[in-house]
A and B are shown apart, each in its own frame.
Chain A
Amino acid sequence: NAGVTQTPKFQVLKTGQSMTLQCAQDMNHNSMYWYRQDPGMGLRLIYYSASEGTTDKGEVPNGYNVSRLNKREFSLRLESAAPSQTSVYFCASSTGTSFSPLHFGNGTRLTVT
């Protein structure tokens, strides 16, 4: 049972380069989320998708775009990477209803030089 799978695990980019972080879940969950984790800041929500076909901004959406490709997959794109986007990125999913625990992927460590 894979749960939530993120790729890649590590990535180094130069300023201005673009990349897409991939996330897939096999739990038939409706809701998916992208968080970033920075030292001392906890996890901050970038974007979320309450259901297939919908996406909404979270607390820190600037510099990112997302695509909910289908019910399983939710990707995060950095169009022009900046050093401030150096972080660990986590994808998560849940059923999207009350009483629903959040399940996380193992994270992507991104460094922008």
Chain B
Amino acid sequence: GIQVEQSPPDLILQEGANSTLRCNFSDSVNNLQWFHQNPWGQLINLFYIPSGTKQNGRLSATTVATERYSLLYISSSQTTDSGVYFCAVERPGGSYIPTFGRGTSLIVHP
């Protein structure tokens, strides 16, 4: 099956710092999504981004499908950004089954 690797596995920031999270995938994909799991365990969809760049407030994401990676940028981080960030990809072929990476754990200190 498709392999999804996220880096770094852990990240610790001071409030106000910027960061970049990376998601590499081993095969062509139809779809890529970024999720945030907050400290209470809830999983929230941040971006649906199979290609190109999207922005939502302080967060933005870029997917370069031809080079098989996606980046999630967090600017001016806040303590509420803490949690685990997952990317999930879907392969072409008709079965819309997201495969997840192992996540990046982010802690933002005040």
- Contact residues of A with B, CB < 8 Å? 31, 33, 35, 40-45, 48, 50, 58-59, 88, 90, 94, 96-104, 106-107, 109
- Contact residues of B with A, CB < 8 Å? 1, 4, 30-31, 33, 35, 41-45, 48, 50, 86, 88, 90, 95-103
A43 touches B100 (CB 8 A): yes
Not counting A45-B99, A50-B95, A100-B48, a sample of 14 additional A-B residue pairs whose C-beta atoms are within 8 angstroms of each other reads A31-B96, A33-B97, A42-B4, A42-B102, A43-B88, A48-B97, A50-B96, A98-B31, A100-B31, A102-B45, A102-B88, A104-B42, A104-B43, A107-B41
Chain B residue nearest in CB terms to A90: B43
Per a CB cutoff under 8 Å, which of B31, B33, B100 touches A42? Answer: B100
**CA–CA, A6 and B102, complex, Å:** 23
How near does chain B come to A65, taking the closest CB pair, in angstroms? 19
Across the interface, which residues of B come within 8 angstroms of A31, CB to CB? 96
Chain A residue nearest in CB terms to B45: A101
**CA–CA, A31 and B98, complex, Å:** 11
Across the interface, which residues of B come within 8 angstroms of A58, CB to CB? 97
18 A–B contacts, CB within 8 A, in A order: A33-B98, A42-B100, A42-B101, A44-B100, A45-B98, A45-B99, A88-B41, A98-B30, A98-B31, A99-B48, A99-B50, A100-B48, A101-B48, A102-B33, A102-B45, A104-B45, A106-B41, A107-B41
**CA–CA, A59 and B50, complex, Å:** 23
**CA–CA, A15 and B107, complex, Å:** 35
5 tightest Cβ-Cβ pairs between the two chains A and B: A104-B43, A42-B102, A43-B100, A42-B100, A101-B45
Chain A residue nearest in CB terms to B31: A98
Across the interface, which residues of A come within 8 angstroms of B101, CB to CB? 42
